[in-house]
Amino acid sequence: MQLKKENILIVDDDIHILELLHRHLQSWNYHTYKAVSVKEAVAILRDTSIDLLITDLKMPEVDGFELVKFVSEHYPKLPKLIVTGYPSVQDSLEAIKSGVVAYLTKPFTKSELKDAMDDALKKSKTVQDSNTQKKEHKDFYGDMIGASEKINEIFQIIDRVKNNKATVSVRGESGTGKELVARAIHYEGKFSKEPYIAVNCGAIPENLLESELFGYVKGAFTGADKNRDGFFQAANGGTIFLDEIGNASLNVQAKLLRALQEKEVVKVGAQKAEKVDVRIIAATNNNLKEMIQEGSFREDLFYRLTVVEIEVPPLRERKEDISMLAEKFLFKYGVEYKDRFVKMSPKALDVLMRYDWPGNIRELENIIQRAVIMCDRVVEVEHLPDSLKYNVNFSEEGLISLKEMEKRHIQHVLNATNNNKTQAAKILQIDRKTLREKLKE
């Protein structure tokens, strides 16, 4: 069966690589255009309908990364495959933001080239189909990545608040990326050139939090040998992100309320207030409404902080984003530890999809980081922790007997070990004889 004659543009200043790619593509019945510079590539793009761009990154004069950005701006639906011998973390992460991109590290085999091309074309079709169904649906925002409906709703809220200084409350479990939301609001908006200060209220001792936030004057307490500004003064004109706001004492909460209402703060030991123009983004994984009932959080402050609320969903509720997040971390740690791009096998990805991720995105990143260190070029199931490989997902069909659950777990372990009964018995911590008897029941 012949492949469709799609138009492929190859850009590389190395003539030998250019000819090698050309021969491979011709053998697959693709129609190719060749360019040895970004300038030639742009000329071809303006006059020709191209279905896939394959480009090197390191080229003289104008590099390939500039070409990627140009294509993303002027031909956003055109898929891009980067072929490079000098991968870097920054380039890979920036390229992710520039659209649908696949990667190939030199040297590569013919089959690796074909897989990378298929990957780029497949991803492009998926995103285009998604965009046809959902208007204005984007899959990244700042350092946030995801195509699920829930994450897209967050992107839309960020669009609404990024250019004003309305107070924003971000709620979500630990590890869901609450600070990434705050950073996106600040750095993607018109105040991005102003200061951004992140403060973990839970990491600062209660007796020091007030002076750290609002500053102090000389002689305010033992050790205060000079006047000092706090985080609010440092963030003046920009954004202050208060993480774990539920840990703030009632005294600090009263001062935060004044900062919101009057746009002014008072240093510890001072009498005079100072004006500040700061957008506050507060985050917590606590239930502030329960804390209000207990008397440990001020109700008036709660309503001041929640002008706009953003609920960041746990990873188990946005599993369709796992493959994109995994790819981002594979790029990051593949380049950092291996000096090349690392991929993940479909079976390993399937294991990630079955897991419930109690630690959310932070846990996923840690597991990918470990897997990249343990693998060579491809992350396989064997490179994942046992807690994932042998995780039991309880059925949603209703309550079942302990015997049935045991039977299902044994079968799950056998499947994971390719029916190796010795290895399965070791994992189950029983002997082979007991395993045989349980299989007969």
Mean pLDDT across the chain: 84
Q: Which residue has the higher pLDDT, 75 or 252?
A: 252
308's enclosing H/E stretch is strand 308-311
Q: Which residue has the higher pLDDT, 135 or 198?
A: 198
Q: Identify the domain boundary among 311, 338, 369.
A: 311
Q: Which residues pair with 197 in a beta bridge?
A: 240
> pLDDT tens digits for 91-130?
555 555 555 467 777 788 888 888 888 877 776 654 444 4
The predicted model scores a pTM of 0.66
Domain span including residue 428: 402-439
Would the pLDDT of 142 be above 50? Answer: yes
136 in a structural domain: no
User: Would you state the pLDDT for residue 127?
Assistant: 46
396 in a structural domain: no
User: Would you state the pLDDT for residue 214?
Assistant: 94
Q: What is the mean pLDDT of residues 146-161?
A: 91
190 in a structural domain: yes
Q: Could you tell me the strand order of the sheet in which 7-11 lies?
A: 31-35, 7-11, 52-55, 80-84, 101-105
135 in a structural domain: no
Total structural domains in the chain? Answer: 4
Q: Which residue has the higher pLDDT, 395 or 43?
A: 43
Write the CATH number for 104: 3.40.50.2300
80 in a structural domain: yes
Q: Please tell me whether residues 92 and 37 are part of one structural domain.
A: yes
Q: Please tell me whether residues 160 and 208 are part of one structural domain.
A: yes
Q: Identify the domain boundary among 266, 286, 311.
A: 311
Would you place residue 16 in the very low, low, confident or very high pLDDT band (cuts 50, 70, 90)?
A: confident
395 in a structural domain: no
User: Would you state the pLDDT for residue 434?
Assistant: 84
Using DSSP, state whether 142 is helix, strand or coil.
coil
Q: Please tell me whether residues 88 and 12 are part of one structural domain.
A: yes
> pLDDT tens digits for 165-214?
999 999 999 999 999 999 999 999 999 999 999 999 989 998 899 999 99
Q: Please tell me whether residues 186 and 331 are part of one structural domain.
A: no
Q: Identify the domain boundary among 65, 100, 127.
A: 127
Q: What is the mean pLDDT of residues 234-252?
A: 94
Nearest to 240 by CA among 263, 267, 262, 221: 263
Q: Which residue has the higher pLDDT, 54 or 438?
A: 54
Write the CATH number for 374: 1.10.8.60
Q: Please tell me whether residues 27 and 174 are part of one structural domain.
A: no
User: Would you state the pLDDT for residue 1?
Assistant: 35
333 in a structural domain: yes
